[in-house]
Amino acid sequence: MRSATLRAAALLIAVGVGACQAGSLGGPAPEPAQLTVGSGEVPGDLQRCAGAGSVDSYLTELKPRNQEAYQALQDAWLQLKKEGARSAAVAVFSTGQPSCSARWGTAPGRSLANLVASFPDDHAAAGAYQRGIFGFPTPAADAQVAGVSIGVATGLSENSWVAQRSVAGRNLYVAWWQDRAVASFVVTVDLDATEARRAAEGVEARLR
């Protein structure tokens, strides 16, 4: 039932999909591994999980430990590559190493997972943003959805949305955004709003 947490949250924001937004302008972005959430941007009780870095290396380590978690991330990465992504990196933090192999957003205890993907240009990254990720649709720019912030209201970028929900008794924060030629996804479980925002905004700050 743990995997139902993310699925339930996806259903809660699946409205108003389909608006198109222009991508931000800018030069080449840094490599994804330079952009992911860092240890100094998460609460002290969270430990960095082994395997963080290249998404391909992370997937190789994850596959024998949790097939469901592997498949979910593999599907997301294949989707991003189909949309033009050239490379991606992962950072995962949890209150215990046994939780590091759980499907994102379902680990017992507090956790944070971050995926950053780099594209050839802003246009490709904006297209990926519009299509959503991990089953989460991107709401229309003018959608009004309870618990969902869109655009500059997120504190991230013009092309962004943040959903904050209590699902199955757990506090879930999900952010998906695009800036320059990069798209980034962050999901946290049982972090407070300030802790979650700090991590996501740390990634965005390195893009500006």
CATH number for position 68:
3.40.1000
pLDDT of residue 98: 79
- Domain count of the chain? 1
Contact 26, 74 (CB under 8 A): no
**What is the per-residue pLDDT for 30?**
77
pLDDT string in tens for the chain (208-residue length): 545 555 545 544 443 343 333 344 445 557 999 999 999 999 999 999 998 899 999 999 999 999 999 999 999 999 999 999 999 999 999 998 878 999 999 989 999 999 999 999 999 999 999 999 999 999 998 898 899 999 999 999 999 999 999 988 999 999 999 999 999 999 999 999 999 999 999 999 999 8
pLDDT of residue 24: 43
Domain enclosing residue 112, as ranges: 4-17+24-205
Q: What is the structure's pLDDT at 21?
A: 39
What confidence score (pLDDT) does residue 52 get? 87
pLDDT of residue 22: 38
